[in-house]
Amino acid sequence: MKVQLLILVATFFYLAYTQLVNGQPHKDCQTSCGNVTIEFPFGTSPDCYYAADPSFNLTCNDKEKLFFRRNLEIINMSHSGELRVMNNISYACYDSQGNSNGSIYYTYRLANLSLSHKNKFTIVGCNAYAYLSTYGTQNYSTGCISACASPPAANGGCHGAGCCSTDVSVPFDNKKFETRPARLPNMTSVYDFNPCTYAFLMENGTFHFNALEDLKNLRNVSQFPLVLDWSIGNQTCEEVGNASMCGMRNNTCFDSNSRPGYNCKCIEGYEGNPYLGCLDINECTTNSTIHKHNCSDPRTCRNKVGGFDCKCRSGYRLDTTAMSCKRKDFGWATILLGTTIGFLCILLVVSCVQQKMKDRKTAELRQKFFEQNGGGMLVQRLSGPGTSNANVQIFTEEGMKTSTNGYDESRILGQGGQGTVYKGILPDNSIVAIKKARLGDNSQVEQFINEVLVLSQINHRNVKLLGCCLETEVPLLVYEFINSGTLFDHLHGSLFGPSLTWEQRLRISVEIAGTLAYLHSSASIPIIHRDVKTANILLDENLTAKVADFGASRLIPMDKEQLTTMVQGTLGYLDPEYYNTGLLNEKSDVYSFGVVLMELLSSQKALCFERPLQSKHLVHYIASAMKENRLHEVIDEKVINENNWKEIQEAVKVAMECTRVTGEERPLMMEVAAKLEGLRVTKTKHQWSDQYPGVEIENLVGVEILSAQGDTSSTGYDSIKNVASLHVAAGR
């Protein structure tokens, strides 16, 4: 008895020692980070990764992204010795004179990992060169040159004209690598269609060169997948012997093909993590098509360690051709008939079971998407205190798919940082705009829920949300369809007719100001849009302005400032005070509106690098013109005439007040709307005076119109009706 107890204790300590040496993880280790599964020998804490090699220590940040050495984001890991990461693109940009206009080069440390032979080094650019350098025991460099004097054919491939690539076969013991692009000297003729040169190392097959898209801005892509090789130690399987990690359960060792060391794999008939031990596959019950049994009748399948057998009952024999049981004494016709009937019955039962499982899985998936897309959060916050319930229609997944013709590319109305907008046709033939949001983490889910909440609080004729769909992998918002494009398109595009008249521009500015004044002052909870720009102003068939895209909006308590953790907005329209301090209030929207008003007046873009250095920003451009008394040079000549120049000057003053650097010096949106409406009323007064000379306009309208430059303390603004509410004079 004592001997048996000693053997048991010795066995226990041996297993504990083996586990400690091999660095196996304890049961509480983190198993995933975002969409990436974390499996031993990798881990995120000292007790969870292979202790003998710190290279297996990974980092999962607060955005649920997994990193190797804190600078390479991992997107996939393989037991066979491969690690896929995202590699940044190095670039060098130049101005029209060939001078450097900004560049970024990346250097990555690989520790005990190495670059796989599955990667290619690629350069995109005309008359450019780049090189890849690795540093270690043996330094290594490679590169290529791309030459072209004009844009090559779009489908020319990556063969030296605008793009070149080379295979990578670097020494395994390099500890870091870097990529550097540059432009050949005296090659200024290509800068108009190719301002930047790009160099990157990426997995072969993940990039296909297109000259029309890639030479200008490389499709706005900043990263490509990269394959790294990893292995255990630096000894072969034969050298490490029984001390390898592959000597536990049902696994085997194989030498790495690309670097020193070894890897583990499960033997035939087993699956799981080969570095922790593999489990037997039950071929008789698994749904895997790779490991499933081939018995004709599932009832004859018998699982065994490392495989399976088809066992026939007494009186039957196994036909190895069809893998079915046949009665030993029956004739061929009887056997064939019985086998056919049995197979059809089994097929019918399997089909019914599969259909029921598919229906249940579909229902579970829809419920999962509903929760994943923040459905529970939306219901809770809509029913919570301080938020009124909104009459938002809930659309089905099938309905959205049908209305967009399966999300066909021809139905795409536009794409941006917040998502893709499709044109949809509902069963009642009404046309809608369906916004498909982009999701990658919980903060974007909250952004989607915030947009629904914001729009549910707005009771204004310029904004209309019809409903949403939460049953899809990414959430959908359904808006009314506005068919005349954006204000940006009308001011800067070429798809529309004659330019907007001054009267139309003034009316549009009043409508935008009225909407923002409503959001700031008349909504149940004050709302800050945070991304006011001409691209977010839609125009209907009557050229009525409608403010859109509330993805970055925030609900805030009355008279409160909000400190944001991340500044959001669009360059050119972004409030400089908000950008510098992170403090958000309604004056940030006032600044952005001032830039929009300047665009309406000048037909110039908010940010234009073709203008002089000090005038690239439209605010500086117009401010400089006013200071130098040449305002007429920057105002759109198509809207200027002898009757409206004073109104234009007053509108410019309003825009300048809105874009003051300090938020406290800017007017409220309600005051801005009242001043602009005052310009319209004044214009109407002049039109009456011209049409009916000698008649007093005050007597006709019964109001006293206050000068935009005078006291506005008695001037209010009705944001619901989008008109100025003026002090009523004594009746006459």
pLDDT of 333 > 80? The answer is no
Instruction: In whole angstroms, give the CA distance from residue 19 to residue 249.
Output: 13
Name the residue with tokens 């006709």.
Answer: 700
pLDDT, averaged across the chain: 79
Instruction: In whole angstroms, give the CA distance from residue 469 to residue 453.
Output: 14
pTM of the model: 0.46
Q: How confident is the model at residue 535 (pLDDT cuts 50, 70, 90)?
A: confident
Q: How confident is the model at residue 598 (pLDDT cuts 50, 70, 90)?
A: very high
Given the residues 53, 214, 229, 531, select the one marked as catalytic: 531
**Residue 459 — φ and ψ, nearest 5°?**
-115, 75
**pLDDT of amino acid 129:** 92
**pLDDT of amino acid 381:** 74
pLDDT of 14 > 60? The answer is no
Beta bridge partners of 177: 108, 134
Q: Are residues 75 and 37 in contact, defined by beta-carbon separation less than 8 angstroms?
A: no
Q: How confident is the model at residue 271 (pLDDT cuts 50, 70, 90)?
A: confident
Distance in Å from the first CA to the final CA of the chain? 119
Q: Are residues 142 and 155 in contact, defined by beta-carbon separation less than 8 angstroms?
A: no
Q: How confident is the model at residue 323 (pLDDT cuts 50, 70, 90)?
A: low
**pLDDT of amino acid 721:** 38
Name the residue with tokens 């008649």.
Answer: 695
CATH topology of domain 487-725: Transferase(Phosphotransferase); domain 1 (1.10.510)
Q: How many CB atoms lie within 10 A of CB 158?
A: 21
Q: Which of 293-297, 384-388, 640-644, 695-699 has the highest mean pLDDT?
A: 640-644
CB pairs under 8 A, 24+ apart, for 369-374?
369/470, 369/471, 369/472, 369/473, 370/470, 370/471, 372/445, 373/439, 373/445, 373/448, 373/470, 373/472, 373/474, 373/475, 374/445, 374/446, 374/448, 374/449, 374/470, 374/475
3-state secondary structure 465-526: EEEEECCCCCCEEEEECCCCCEHHHHHHCCCCCCCCCHHHHHHHHHHHHHHHHHHHHHCCCC
Task: Please choose, from the candidates 553, 555, 631, the residue with its C-alpha nearest in 3D space to the C-alpha of residue 598.
Answer: 631
**pLDDT of amino acid 726:** 27
> For residue 728, with 0-12 CB atoms within 10 Å meaning exposed, 13-18 middle and 19 or more buried, which class applies?
exposed
Pairwise pLDDT comparison (253 vs 724), residue with the higher score: 253
pLDDT of 70 > 80? The answer is no
Q: How confident is the model at residue 330 (pLDDT cuts 50, 70, 90)?
A: low
pLDDT of 724 > 60? The answer is no
**pLDDT of amino acid 506:** 94
Instruction: In whole angstroms, give the CA distance from residue 277 to residue 248.
Output: 6
The residue type at 449: I
* CATH code 3.30.200.20 for 375-480: yes
**pLDDT of amino acid 725:** 32
**Residue 155 — φ and ψ, nearest 5°?**
-110, 30
Pairwise pLDDT comparison (524 vs 604), residue with the higher score: 604
**pLDDT of amino acid 137:** 80
Average pLDDT estimate for 340-352:
93
Task: Please choose, from the candidates 336, 72, 431, 347, the residue with its C-alpha nearest in 3D space to the C-alpha of residue 226.
Answer: 72
Q: How confident is the model at residue 359 (pLDDT cuts 50, 70, 90)?
A: confident
**Residue 12 — φ and ψ, nearest 5°?**
-60, -50
List the structure tokens of 579: 């950008």
pLDDT of 138 > 90? The answer is no
pLDDT one-digit tens code per residue, 106-125: 888 888 888 999 999 999 99
**pLDDT of amino acid 613:** 77
Instruction: In whole angstroms, give the CA distance from residue 250 to residue 706.
Output: 90
**pLDDT of amino acid 732:** 23
Lowest mean pLDDT segment, chosen from 13-27, 363-377, 592-606, 653-667: 13-27
Average pLDDT estimate for 630-636:
90
pLDDT one-digit tens code per residue, 195-223: 899 999 999 999 999 888 888 888 788 89
List the structure tokens of 314: 């007494």
Pairwise pLDDT comparison (531 vs 292), residue with the higher score: 531
Task: Please choose, from the candidates 353, 341, 355, 339, the residue with its C-alpha nearest in 3D space to the C-alpha of residue 296.
Answer: 339
Judge whether 531 counts as a catalytic residue: yes
pLDDT one-digit tens code per residue, 661-717: 998 999 999 999 999 999 887 765 555 445 444 433 332 232 222 223 333 333 333
pLDDT of 105 > 70? The answer is yes
Q: Are strands 128-136 and 174-183 parallel, antiparallel or unpaired?
A: antiparallel
Q: Where are the domains of the chain?
A: 1-70, 82-229, 375-480, 487-725
